[in-house]
Each structure stands twice: as C-alpha cells, then as structure tokens.
Amino acid sequence: MKKLIIILLLIPIFGYSQILKRDIPDKLVVLTFDDAPASHYSVVAPLLKQYGFDATFFVCEFPPNYADSTKYMNWRQIQELGKMGFEVANHTKSHAGIAKLPKEKFISELEYIEQKCDSLGLDIPVTFAYPGYSLNEQAFYVLEGKGYSFARAGGSRAYDPLKDHPYLLPSWATDAGNKPQILDAFKEAKNGGIVILTFHGVPDLEHPWVDTPLELFKEYLQYLSDNNFKVIALRDLESYIDVEKARQLIEPDFSKPLKN
C-alpha cells in the first residue's frame, strides 16, 4: 500500500519532468515583433543582426494601410527577414480578433499567411500570436490541428514551461514609457522562467501608443548583450520544451492575466 502511494505521488513529478527536453538556462529571452511595420525591416532587423540576436516577426496585412510601404513591410521585405534567418510567423491575415471569429474564418486567416510564406520559399509558420490578445480555447484545436507549437499572448509575466500551456505563452509589451517595467522583467529570466517580449514598431507610425523609440530599443539590445542574455526566436523554444507533452499535461489557465 505504501509503495502504491509513493508511486502515485511520483507520477506528476515524472510527468512534468518529461515536458523539458533540457534545463532552461537563466537569462533566456525571446524577442517577438508584431504587425509588420516598415521599421522592422529598415531598423530592427539590421540592429538584431549587429548583436547576433534571433527573433520572431509575427506578420499580418494590417488594415487599412498595409499596402502603404512607408508604414508597413511589403512581402518582399518579409521574405528578406526569413532569408536573414529570422522566424516569420503567423499573426492572421487581417489582424483578426479571433475570440469571436467562426472556426472556418480563423483557419482561412491562418492559411493566407501560411500560403504567402510557402509561395515565397519561407518555412510555413509554426508559432502564432493572438492579435489584440483576443483568444479562446476553441482556437487551441485549430492551432493543434495545423501543427503549431506555441501561441503567444500577453500578461506581463515570465513563461513557466511547467505551468503555462504552450498556447498561452505570456509576454511583456514594450512602449515608450515602460522602461523600468521591462528592465525588471529581464530579472525574471531565471529559475526556469523565460522572458518573452512583444515589440511593435521602432518606431510605430500607425500605432504610436505601442511605439518603442529607437534609442530605447538600442538600450535594450545593449543591456541584453552586456549581461550575456541568450536571445532567441520563439520557435527555438522547441529545443527545450516537448510541446506535445506540455499540451497533454498542462491544463490551460484562463484566469491568469493574458493581455498587455
């Protein structure tokens, strides 16, 4: 009887240990860039290369001005990011709030970006970011059916791969005024916690409330470099995390903060 109790007590420990393929190092940071503003191509990508950092670009055709190349990247520029080695990932075709979207429409929004990437010789995206942090559990079935590994939300806290469902990754979003919060966030990249940042434009001409000024962006990159952070794209978390196991073992918790 005692043996049985011990075995039952150990099941969750063994189960959760299977989620990690290897230990999460301290100072692990994921940089993500949303909405395909023009500055991602002209400013962000060259700076990231200069520092040797990887990153994920969550692209969409942001209405109504996505075709205006002074405001947004065109698909040739997005293709160029992929050729530079960055991850080009899915943010839906039209920046759709998916919580109220019929399933078929969500699928077609995803597939538009997948087909664009495929036609340009880019990898078909395996990570997703919820536009406007709008999400629901029904989206999980669609993402799982299409083979997505991770989906990023908000919430301003560190990602704990043993507790957070792979389709509910938390992140902090930067803006012109929250430098102290972001510098504090970097300190959370320890003891198994992974820090994921959401950037918009540097600058963001269309959405100034999520603008990150160039000087501040450079400061963040310099800080990460000076302090020996490992800076990766979201897809690279698959080398640390068995997403299938994580999906099986972790109950999604919608009560946690998920918006920025």
**What is the contact surface with Zn ion in residues (CB under 5 A)?**
34-35, 131
Say if CB 173 and CB 190 are below 8 A apart.
Answer: no
Closer to Zn ion by CB, 131 or 170: give it: 131
> Closest distance between Zn ion and the C-beta of residue 10, in Å?
43
Minimum CB distance to Zn ion, residue 71 (Å): 14
Residue closer to Zn ion by CB (options 71, 245) is 71
Cα end-to-end span (Å), the chain: 49
DSSP reduced 3-state for 34:
strand
d(CA 244, CA 141): 13
Q: Of the two residues 35 and 204, which places its CB atom closer to Zn ion in the complex? A: 35
Q: Which residue is nearest to Zn ion (CB)?
A: 34
Taking the complex as a whole, how short is the minimal distance between the CB of residue 92 and Zn ion, in angstroms? 9
* Minimum gap (Å) between residue 89 Cβ and Zn ion: 12
| Counts for the chain of helices (H) and strands (E), in that order | 9, 8
Distance of closest approach, residue 91 Cβ to Zn ion, in angstroms = 6
CA angle 173, 220, 190 (to 5 degrees): 75
DSSP assignment of 200-230: --TT-SS-GGG---HHHHHHHHHHHHHTT-E
Nearer to Zn ion, 19 or 117 (CB): 117
Minimum CB distance to Zn ion smaller for 35 or for 61:
35
The one-letter amino acid code at 250 reads: I
